[in-house]
Amino acid sequence: MGSQSSNDFTALWAQHDLGDVVVSAKELHDRVLELGRQITTDYTDSPPLLVGVLKGAINFMSDLMRAIELPVEVDFMAVSSYGAATKTSGVVRIVKDLDVDLLGRDVLIVEDVVDSGLTLNYLRQYLGARSPKSLEVCALLLKEGEQRVQQSLKYVGFTIPSDFVVGYGLDVNERYRNLDAIYTFTGEA
């Protein structure tokens, strides 16, 4: 992790706000393929409903669903716990709920980053109350030492330092999502 390859494209408009590459575009691509293969193996008999957590997981979800060789269904939720800040407020609110019924379904929450774990804990309780057959998590990033709630994560892409990061769907004030790698954010929110 963390080595910048020639494939990483840093937009000129973003360079002044970005620090080191935390996860390169190649590392992201390779790991998403590995996760897709593992999910394909684990859910061969019962393709899961992938629940993407908007907006940060959009790039990850898009790549992951194409790496899963099963007829998966997808739906999206939007939750807010950050606002315009770079630290979670701890208060979770549902901005967009699911459109499908979870009763008796295998559900895989696709999350961009798990830091405090408060948002994910809330989502698990919220979705678990809808009686899915199973409810697991695939998180692209797990921040070291940030968890305030113990989490059981079935799939984790990368464990990273607790720095605030942007790129590959992750943002500050709706910017930087379109970067192809993940970078530390050194600018001001």
Answer yes or no: are the C-beta atoms of 102 and 130 closer than 8 Å: yes
- Stretches where the chain sits below pLDDT 70 are 1-10, 81-90, 146-149
Residues with Cβ < 8 Å from 109, sequence gap 6 or more?
51, 53, 120, 123, 124, 127, 135, 136, 137, 138
**Cα distance between residue 135 and residue 44, in whole Å:** 16
pLDDT value, residue 88: 54
CATH number for the domain running over 19-185? 3.40.50.2020
Question: What are the distances in angstroms from CA 116 to CA 23, 86, 92, 121?
Answer: 20, 12, 12, 9
User: CA triplet 43, 44, 50: central angle to 5 degrees?
Assistant: 40
From first CA to last CA, the distance across the chain in angstroms is: 25
Q: What percent of the chain has pLDDT over 70?
A: 87
pLDDT value, residue 7: 45
Q: Which of the following is catalytic: 8, 106, 112, 115?
A: 115
Query: What is the per-residue burial (b if ≥16 Cβ within 10 Å, else e) of 142-169?
Result: bbeebbeeebeeebbbbebeeebbbbbb
Question: Among 146, 149, 177, which Cα is nearest to 57's?
Answer: 177
pLDDT value, residue 67: 98
pLDDT value, residue 119: 85
pLDDT value, residue 83: 53
Distance of CA 157 to the CA centre of its chain: 9
Q: Where are the domains of the chain?
A: 19-185
| Residue 174 in tokens | 């709706």
Q: Is 101 a catalytic residue?
A: no
pLDDT value, residue 3: 46
Please give the model's pTM, rounded to 2 decimal places: 0.88
